[in-house]
Amino acid sequence: MRADSLGVDGRGYLLLDTRLTTSDAAGHYQLTGLPRGHGQLYAYGKSYLLLDVLKLRSIPSENLTLHMTAAGAIKGRVLSKFGKPATHGNVNIEPPGEKIGKWGASGDTKADGSFAFDNVPLGQYIVTAMATNPGPALRGKDPNAKTITVKPGETTRVDVTGR
């Protein structure tokens, strides 16, 4: 767990030294040495995602509860149209339909064409890719797109052919 964006209005300054702490087995934590005001608190855990990540919290506070939800992971490879790993590819992951306010991600592939995203919110996602970065513009629906479902604590694996 860490604190950021501290100040009178929570949009102030970053601390010179990052304040970090670890919760105990019951989930209790103590984060000390923070200036009075407001700030954002971030909690991390394998296969868990913090809810209300942008919420400003009063500092100091006692008995503050941070709510987390189960998450999963996505790992896979981007392949060229010849089935070879896309060494300079790019992957895009987004939910179907309305996207504003929803989780999405994109990134470049590693040299072996692989990519990985951890702590992904549960649900359906559409995975598209480019075998070269930047790739050709695409008008309309990507025929190589794959629809996947992320489940709690699981890693969803997907290989997608880049355009």
pLDDT (tens digit per residue) in 71-96: 999 999 999 989 999 999 999 999 99
Residue at which a domain ends, from 44, 66, 88: 66
Residues 40 and 94 in one domain: no
Cβ–Cβ < 8 Å for 120, 74 = yes
Residues 109 and 154 in one domain: yes
The residue range of the domain holding 97 is 72-161
User: Residue 28: its pLDDT value, please?
Assistant: 87
Burial 67-105 (b: 16+ CB within 10 A, else e): ebebbbbbebbbbbeeeebbebbbbbbeeeeeeeeebee
For the chain, percent of residues with pLDDT exceeding 70 = 85
Rounded-to-integer distance, Cα 137 and Cα 52, Å: 35
Residues 59 and 78 in one domain: no
Residue at which a domain ends, from 66, 100, 120: 66
pTM for the structure as a whole: 0.78
Residues 97 and 145 in one domain: yes
Residues 100 and 135 in one domain: yes
**How many CB atoms within 10 Å of residue 29?**
14
Give how many domains the chain has, as a whole number.
2
Residues 47 and 119 in one domain: no
Strand partners, 123: 150
Tens-place pLDDT, residues 92-145: 999 998 778 788 999 999 999 999 999 999 999 999 998 876 666 666 688 899
What is the Cα gyration radius of the chain? 19
Backbone angles phi, psi at 70, to 5 degrees: -65, 150
Find how far residue 5's CA is from the centre of its chain. 19
Residue at which a domain ends, from 47, 66, 85: 66
Q: Kindly give, in sequence order, each residue whose CB lies less than 8 Å from that of residue 161, ignoring residues fewer than 6 positions away.
A: 78, 79, 80, 81, 83, 129, 131, 144
Residues 86 and 157 in one domain: yes
Residues 56 and 23 in one domain: yes
Residues 82 and 155 in one domain: yes
